[in-house]
Amino acid sequence: MKIAIIGAGSVGTNLHHAFALKDVRTELIHARPLTAEQPGEPQNNQTVEGFDVYIYAVADQALREVIAKIDAPKALHLHTSGSMPIEVFGEDKPHSGIMYFFQSFSRDVMIDDWSGIPCFISGHNIDDIAAIYSLAQTLTSRIYEVNQHDRERLHVAGVFANNFSNLMYRIAAEILRDTQIPFEALLPLIDRTAEKVHTLPPKEAQTGPAQRMDREVIMKHLAVLDGMKDGEFFASDIEFIYMNLSQIIQTAQWPEDRRHSIMEILGQALEGSSEKGHIRPAQARRRGKYPEE
């Protein structure tokens, strides 16, 4: 079976590496030459014909264009996106589906062991699903057949669990910027937090001043953030995030008749920042940086 992986980004290079470790030969084909139409753009010097399976590991916004460049109606066509529908392949590619490995990939660090990585698959018919399952099983035993609705929810959940949590690490590093404390000091705490949700539901693992409604600590934290200087992020944005996340935690944690105290804390903090002249200038700068607001 001849397999082409279209796209030499993070996902494509890791897939190519993973299959090679399993003695499955794949051809890694750069996607950009397939869409090159302007003079001076690199031309495709790799053949994209004669493969039995095409795995498209390209950005969502380029997927339709790249798929349209491949004329192989008898082959099995798979994309690796967490959000794009199977219909993206069109009627000219009747054997098609999805093979979505739920993991964060980087070209700088190749993943050798895929046995614990879940793979979510979809296909047009039973035969195609069986073929996709067999291919995915080469790398992992954790394979799940899912519909478009569930896969889209999974993708959003992944953004919260991975992308947004990494943003929190960046903000934490920013808060420590003017101190003698290295970010590495947070790693045992980060590791422990991730470890806990292997055995506890996230709701039960939740800790912190908002969860226990510690008014004094919250006010101290807001005062610290209020005194920070802008750096990679606007200090007012960090304060805004702290207040909103604290509100979400307490809304989920406490009954309605016990939420008023923390709402007062957040309200007082906002009023205090406004009186000190922090809110209005910060909003003006944010509009300049984020024109969509």
pTM, rounded to two decimals: 0.80
- Confidence category of residue 43, pLDDT binned at 50, 70, 90: very low
- What lies within 8 Å, CB to CB, of 240 at 6+ separation is none
How many CB atoms neighbour CB 204 within 10 A? 10
pLDDT at 155 over 80: yes
Lowest mean pLDDT among 4-13, 179-188, 269-278: 269-278
Taken in order of first residue, the domains within the chain and their CATH numbers are 3-146 (3.40.50.720), 151-289 (1.10.1040.20)
Q: Which residues of 253-292 are buried (b: 16+ CB within 10 A; e: fewer)?
A: bbeeeeeeebeebbeebbeebeeeebbeebeeeeeeeeee
Residues 258-274, mean pLDDT to the nearest whole number? 60
pLDDT at 167 over 90: yes
pLDDT digits (tens, 9 = 90+) for 94-104: 999 999 999 99
**Amino acid letter at 218?**
I
Q: Which residues of 90-106 are buried (b: 16+ CB within 10 A; e: fewer)?
A: eeebebbbbbbbbbebe
Higher pLDDT, residue 222 or 285: 222
- Residue 52 CA to residue 162 CA, distance in Å, equals 34
- Confidence category of residue 32, pLDDT binned at 50, 70, 90: confident
Residues 97-112, mean pLDDT to the nearest whole number? 95
- Residue 62 CA to residue 219 CA, distance in Å, equals 47
For the chain, the helix, strand and coil percentages under 3-state DSSP, each to the nearest 5: 50, 10, 35
Residues 201-216, mean pLDDT to the nearest whole number? 91
Query: In the chain, pLDDT over 70 holds for what percent of residues?
Result: 83
pLDDT at 277 over 50: no
pLDDT at 173 over 90: yes
